[in-house]
Structure 1
């Protein structure tokens, strides 16, 4: 099969297309023929091996996972002996997690990391949901505990996670303030944002509104600035790093570490978001999508052999919402 492989950390030119063996599913796995895959900021960090401290988990001298990509949608080709909830022919979507491997014609994945594709979404739209959608869902629901009437600020509202977070926050009954650049103001408004702050003109930290939840997806502001727009007992959810362009030891991990250190000493909740792929969250995303409450926004699509160009577009900070690979 064809796959995008990488044998050393570096720029998009280190990604090459190669012929590799079709994987064989283990007893608890399913084999999926990939119809679409999606890029995430995670994929950029994994490609660059940046920040450098992350290489302790990803591989010190070279990527431990040779095939890039996490998010995918496709059809099940075969199942392992112990698989009970997925059958050949099923249309599914999922997240491979740190194992990677989605930029390929076939993937093997545990049945606990896939779910039935939303019936009203194309494979391209479904592939754009898993990692970004789970991040948005966990940040707002599991951690932020957003309820009707809550005021939510989303810093980085036009990105892959942000565009989904705006829609989910509205679905939960919140009043949403979205922070983005000038060119994305109309986009986030069309997704349901009640208030939009154009960061090229205004500083949300000086806004008089106070929010029950601040969801930081960028990592470009201090803890003091983020806490300033919270209510006294509000929740700050840290999942930043979107504007970090590499070249340091810690990168956005520095802000996250400071948040963890400060959290026990303040009334406001400061929570560092960690995510993991699960069928339960994928099923919830499917339910929201099929009910018309959640529609992924796709900026551009590229064929498999143009993954390096897609990654270059992503890291150039021009991408809004999701960039998708078609097979």
Structure 2
């Protein structure tokens, strides 16, 4: 399986590469490749294996083609299999108009990959054929590396770009992670701990040992007693990352320190749902009204309310790779499936109560 990716290709500090003067890459053995696709939105039965997917080609000078060695699944892949975000997806495919629903099929799902660059566009200077992208931490296998990009960049977006925490200002802050045992949660616990925070992780009892291994100072079992009351018994927090949403938003902001710059960031937003239901313009308008009213409401109470989501960023991936290579962050993988068992991997993810990531080993057939 291969993918075409538009990456940040300008040379960056710490990893400058000689410019690629033309299209370079390994010779192609064939023009088709195996892939798992969907031809309609639905449940797991819509997944279809084919050996006849058209081999990708480079259309723009800042693109590369990556031979995928491993890929991981995320909860959003389950949602997108059922049609979540279809409006935004089609708009991205054609900026001038939203295409009719039958034009995106066959559709290949997935957000995370680890692999090796095969070909580079004319303007790509930061990568060359043969590079393990993007760049893969040297200490990790492709299976391990594939578990990190989406959850890592989502957590980085929420904590750093939206929440404002970083290595220089996080030390000693009290951080609460709701839904700490999933892919984003396990990464977030390690990230803020690496930056010196005091971390309280909320999960079920069977994830207690994992949370403490990752560095959590306090672990709260949400199944034991009233979670809100358990957390209110603790000192107030400087930062909350909410991976759960729902009813937690009604009381979680009350756990923050007032008038101190304390921030609540939720990853559960109605942005794509609004676009799917209302269309692009009305969906964006409704989303703006909602976040604006909530921001003002909580600001008057002395705390900050924010939404966050995945944000692609080459420089952030480089920083994450440095944290991994230094031993401060490790991949957390619940189960690995061979490429032939992609539907089983989706079913595993559907079970919920994740303890890290579900990964597909594309190269090894076992």
* Shorter-chain TM-score above 0.5: yes
Find the aligned partners of 2:62 and 2:329 in 1 and give their Cα distance.
Answer: 30
- Does the aligned pair in 1 maintain the 2:190–2:214 contact within 8 Å? yes
- Structure whose CA Rg is larger: 2
- Does the aligned pair in 2 maintain the 1:237–1:273 contact within 8 Å? yes
Runs of 4+ displaced beyond 6 Å:
253-257
| Offset, 1:224 | 2.9
| Correspondence for 1:122 | 141
> Unmatched 5+ residue regions in structure 1?
93-114, 242-247
Question: Structure 1 residue 196 and structure 2 residue 219: aligned?
Answer: yes
Find the aligned partners of 1:258 and 1:182 in 2 and give their Cα distance.
Answer: 35
How many residues are aligned here?
Answer: 294
| Offset, 1:182 | 1.5
| Correspondence for 2:108 | 67
| Correspondence for 2:80 | 46
Find the aligned partners of 2:171 and 2:238 in 1 and give their Cα distance.
Answer: 11
Q: 1:129 to 1:260 in 2, by over 3 A?
A: farther
Find the aligned partners of 2:292 and 2:210 in 1 and give their Cα distance.
Answer: 33
Q: 1:34 to 1:230 in 2, by over 3 A?
A: same
| Offset, 1:249 | 6.6
1:228 is paired with a residue whose SS is helix
| Offset, 1:316 | 1.5
Find the aligned partners of 1:86 and 1:312 in 2 and give their Cα distance.
Answer: 36
| Offset, 1:140 | 1.5
| Offset, 1:137 | 1.4
**Counterparts of residues 222-301 of structure 1 (less than 5 Å):** 222-233=248-259, 234-240=262-268, 258-265=290-297, 266=299, 267-301=302-336
Question: Structure 1 residue 173 and structure 2 residue 196: aligned?
Answer: yes
- Does the aligned pair in 2 maintain the 1:8–1:61 contact within 8 Å? no
- Does the aligned pair in 1 maintain the 2:182–2:353 contact within 8 Å? no
Find the aligned partners of 1:76 and 1:258 in 2 and give their Cα distance.
Answer: 42
State the TM-score, normalizing by the size of structure 1. Answer: 0.84
- CA offset digits 1:146-203 (Å, max 9, x no partner): 3101100000100000000000010111000000011111111110000001000043
| Offset, 1:62 | 5.5
| Correspondence for 2:173 | 150
Q: 1:323 to 1:148 in 2, by over 3 A?
A: same
- Does the aligned pair in 2 maintain the 1:49–1:58 contact within 8 Å? no
Find the aligned partners of 2:292 and 2:252 in 1 and give their Cα distance.
Answer: 14
Relative to structure 2, which stretch is displaced further, 9-18 or 141-150?
141-150
- Does the aligned pair in 2 maintain the 1:163–1:297 contact within 8 Å? yes
1:231 is paired with a residue whose SS is coil
Find the aligned partners of 2:289 and 2:225 in 1 and give their Cα distance.
Answer: 27
RMSD across aligned positions (CA):
2.3
| Offset, 1:16 | 1.1
Find the aligned partners of 1:168 and 1:257 in 2 and give their Cα distance.
Answer: 32
Relative to structure 2, which stretch is displaced further, 300-309 or 259-268?
259-268
| Correspondence for 2:69 | 35
Question: Structure 1 residue 323 and structure 2 residue 346: aligned?
Answer: no
> Unmatched 5+ residue regions in structure 2?
1-32, 91-99, 270-275, 279-283
| Correspondence for 2:126 | 85
**Counterparts of residues 121-140 of structure 1 (less than 5 Å):** 121-140=140-159
